[in-house]
Homo-oligomer: A and B are copies of this chain.
Amino acid sequence: MKTVCLVVGAGAGIGAHVARKFASSGYHTCVTRRTNQDGLDQLVDQIKRSDGEATGFLSNIAKENSIEELVLEIEESIGPIEVVVYNIGAQIGDRSLKETSAKMFEVGWRLGTFGLFRLASILLPLMEKRGSGNLLVTSATASMRGNAGQHSHASAMAGRRMLCQTLNAEYGAKGIHICHIVIDGIVDAPDTVGLMLGPEKFEALRQERGMDKDGLLLPSAVAETYLNITRQHRSAWTHELDIRPFSELPWWNSEKLSL
């Protein structure tokens, strides 16, 4: 049996790079995404070509029992999940209240908050039996304050953040390291930010802030910090930290693009 790192939501941004990083550190890395079998296969192949181990799963976290069955399948057929990264976004761009349907609002919560609850419910008791484990939760500026047009996203992310606190209050002392990671900047990610902006605007953004200007979050750099969090000695754990480009003002100093 291998020691597993499961990355829930492994597109081409933070998720994919975190997956590679943990694979190159010796974990059998399981990666999921909702759609795009080709993209998933490519990621698994990349990892394997770098002498890592990986298995891919198409999985719709919003579907009943999806994450529950996935966790049990991995634990049974691959190995114990020592690290799980919840990397599901719920950003739908800025929408006025009128443009935010009840359905959208609910989907935001299902992806933003409820999916994490379901993942924790199935996996933390397994980790508890083993006396150790890591739950890393990618989160967003919107978990810290609500901006105009972010009705769905902000309330879902605040729920996510608070859930990390209640999980930590119950499972920290049982040896499970839960970390809420506030991504407070725009990620250089064609799969998410790129799709939201469209190719032209994304390229312009890259020219303006990215590349050698380092004003967009490099997912590989973010992944480095994720790995380090899991390596902290249990006498000195971090429960919450923020990550942003050096040239970006923090959320408390600026109005942010909602990306």
Chain A residues within CB distance 8 Å of chain B: 96-98, 100, 102, 105-106, 109, 113-114, 117-118, 120-121, 124-125, 142-151, 154-173, 175, 177, 188, 214-218, 220-222, 224-225, 228, 231-255
A239-B242 contact in complex given A109-B109, A117-B105, A166-B146, C-beta closer than 8 Å: yes
Whether the Cβ atoms of A109 and B102 lie closer than 8 Å is no
Whether the Cβ atoms of B173 and A154 lie closer than 8 Å is no
Whether the Cβ atoms of B168 and A162 lie closer than 8 Å is no
Please report the C-alpha to C-alpha distance between residue A165 and residue B143 in the assembled complex, in whole angstroms.
11
Please report the C-alpha to C-alpha distance between residue A250 and residue B147 in the assembled complex, in whole angstroms.
10
Please report the C-alpha to C-alpha distance between residue A148 and residue B236 in the assembled complex, in whole angstroms.
20
Whether the Cβ atoms of A250 and B241 lie closer than 8 Å is no
Please report the C-alpha to C-alpha distance between residue A243 and residue B234 in the assembled complex, in whole angstroms.
10
Whether the Cβ atoms of B239 and A217 lie closer than 8 Å is no
Jot down 10 A-B pairs with beta carbons below 8 A, ordered by A.
A106-B114, A146-B164, A147-B169, A148-B253, A159-B162, A169-B249, A214-B234, A236-B245, A241-B242, A255-B255
Q: How many copies, total? A: 4
Whether the Cβ atoms of B170 and A97 lie closer than 8 Å is yes
A236-B225 contact in complex given A165-B252, A241-B241, A255-B255, C-beta closer than 8 Å: yes
- Chain B residues with Cβ under 8 A from A221's Cβ? 232-233, 235-236
Most buried by B among A96, A100, A159, A168: A159
Whether the Cβ atoms of A237 and B244 lie closer than 8 Å is yes
Whether the Cβ atoms of B98 and A117 lie closer than 8 Å is no
Which residue on B lies nearest to A240, using beta carbons? B242
Q: How far is the CB of A188 from chain B (nearest CB, A)?
A: 8
A125-B109 contact in complex given A155-B117, A158-B161, A217-B236, C-beta closer than 8 Å: no
Whether the Cβ atoms of A113 and B109 lie closer than 8 Å is yes
Query: A106-B114, A158-B159, A239-B242 given. 7 additional CB < 8 A pairs?
Result: A98-B121, A102-B114, A113-B155, A150-B166, A154-B163, A155-B159, A224-B231
Q: Which of B98, B154, B167, B246 contacts A234 (CB 8 A)?
A: B246
Q: How far is the CB of A137 from chain B (nearest CB, A)?
A: 12
- Chain B residues with Cβ under 8 A from A238's Cβ? 225, 241-243
- Chain B residues with Cβ under 8 A from A216's Cβ? 235
